Amino acid sequence: MTHEAPASEHDDHDSPYEGLFGGDSDHWAFGTDFDDPLAGIEATIPDGADPRALAQYCLMLGDDALVLSHRLSQWCGRAPELELDIALANIALDLLGQARLLLARAASADPSVVPPLPGASEAVPSPVPAEDALAFFRDDRAYRNAWLAEAPNGDFGQTVARILLFATARLALLERLRASRDAVLAAVAAKGVRELAYHRDFAARWFVTLAQGTEESRRRVTAGLAEVWRHHDELFRAHPVERELAGAGVAVDPADVAGEADAALATVLAASDLPWPEVPQAGQLGGRSGRDGAHTEALSSLLAEMQSVARAHPLGRW
């Protein structure tokens, strides 16, 4: 059986689907345009910056975003309400976008950080982009994220507390990083500031709501805050790489933004009628922490899940 094409062109005249595909996008009420955050950005490495240090710095910022993005995506289908499910997934996707740009920058600054893929060779080149290879084929010891990002989710209150702490610190950092001498980092920071301002607002609003809600919600969010606050100080402890690049005008020394981040946190705590948390800080492992590649076992199980499919098909095309 064959189907005849419409007999005459005027049959199509009233079709609502006419012109739907291709051509002018003006008929989309909301537009279809997307911005490339790196459009027109100069990708050369600034004078006086060690490319290997720059790559390590990009891994620190990128891994923070990647690992927390994965943690938040673990809420998918499990959040208390459908609307929160979408909100947490949105935040996760924003962070994933930042991670992608930062890991790609790490790979371009120092290609030796990209792990070789099993089975890939000169004859069979890897089909995987460098940022994907960094995300899916590095072991936990090569990750440079802070421990706050890898800690388990806990309940919704604890997740809100974590986003609040993370977004407040990262927003303060990226606001200054917009002035980086590295044009790529500056562009990523400019994009990230808009996103993180929303993440912080979302978390602060929910934090106050839960703290001033019922006895149970207050108890939970306070307990969650105490749990994530163990990783507060690490966020503002400068690694030698950060200090070196901050001296070159490329990075931001996190210690320099502790004051303004703490001031923002104090505002949220005051609105919540909660005292400044006095919580013992998580110790280091033999003097090393997340920025040095020393991690808790929470990261290895997270990566085992996140990397399992990619590692099962190292030469797969996605």
Q: Which two tokens stand for residue 279?
A: 């919580």
Tokens for 110? 């120092």
Cβ 156 to another protein shortest distance, Å: 12
- CA 129 to centroid of chain Cα atoms: 18
Cβ–Cβ < 8 Å for 49, 185: no
Among 1, 34, 44, 297, binds another protein (CB under 8 A): 34
Residues whose CB is less than 8 angstroms from the CB of residue 167 and which lie 6 or more positions away in sequence, other chains included: 196, 199, 200, 203
CB of 80 to another protein, least distance (A): 8
Q: Does 267 bind another protein (CB under 8 A)?
A: no
Residues 43-62 that bind another protein (CB under 8 A): none
Interface with another protein, residue 36, by CB under 8 A: no
Per DSSP, the three-state class of 192 is: helix
CB nearer another protein, residue 86 or residue 315: 86
Check residue 303 and report its DSSP letter: H
β-sheet bridge partners, residue 211? none
Question: Is residue 209 a contact point for another protein (CB under 8 A)?
Answer: yes
Establish if 5 lies at the interface with another protein (CB under 8 A).
no
Cβ count within 10 A of residue 196: 27
When binding is defined by CB under 8 A, the residue of 29, 39, 123, 312 that contacts another protein is 29
Residue 205 CB, nearest distance to another protein (Å)? 7
CA distance 277 to 298: 24
14 vs 26, which CB is nearer to another protein?
26
Q: Which of residues 76-95 bind another protein (CB under 8 A)?
A: 80-83, 86-87, 90
Nearest approach, Cβ of 308 to another protein (angstroms)?
Answer: 28
Question: Is residue 178 involved in binding another protein (CB under 8 A)?
Answer: no
Q: Is 77 helix (H, G, I), strand (E, B) or coil?
A: coil
Identity of the residue, 5 or 29, whose beta carbon is nearer to another protein in the bound complex: 29
| 24 lies in the binding site for another protein (CB under 8 A) | no
Residue indicated by tokens 């407040």? 168
- Closer of 33 and 297 to another protein (Cβ): 33
**Using rule CB under 8 A, residue 17 touches another protein:** no
Nearer to another protein, 38 or 93 (CB): 93
* Beta-bridge partner residues of 230: none
Distances in whole angstroms, Cα of residue 202 to Cα of each of 12, 99, 260: 47, 20, 19
* Nearest by Cα to 105 from 169, 194, 180: 180
The nearest distance, CB 209 to another protein, in angstroms, is 7
202 contributes a contact to another protein by CB under 8 A: yes
Which letter does DSSP use for residue 285 in this model? Answer: B
Cα distances from 163 to residues 118, 126, 171, 199, 253, in angstroms, run 35, 35, 11, 7, 21
Of the candidate residues 16, 22, 23, 31, the single one contacting another protein (CB under 8 A): 31
CA pseudo-torsion sign 126, 128, 131, 136:
negative
Rank residues 92 and 106 by Cβ distance to another protein and give the closer one.
Answer: 92
> CB of 82: closest distance to another protein in angstroms?
8
Q: Does 30 bind another protein (CB under 8 A)?
A: yes
Q: How far is the CB of 218 from another protein (least distance, A)?
A: 15
| Contacting positions for another protein (CB under 8 A) | 26, 29-31, 33-34, 80-83, 86-87, 90, 198, 201-202, 205, 209
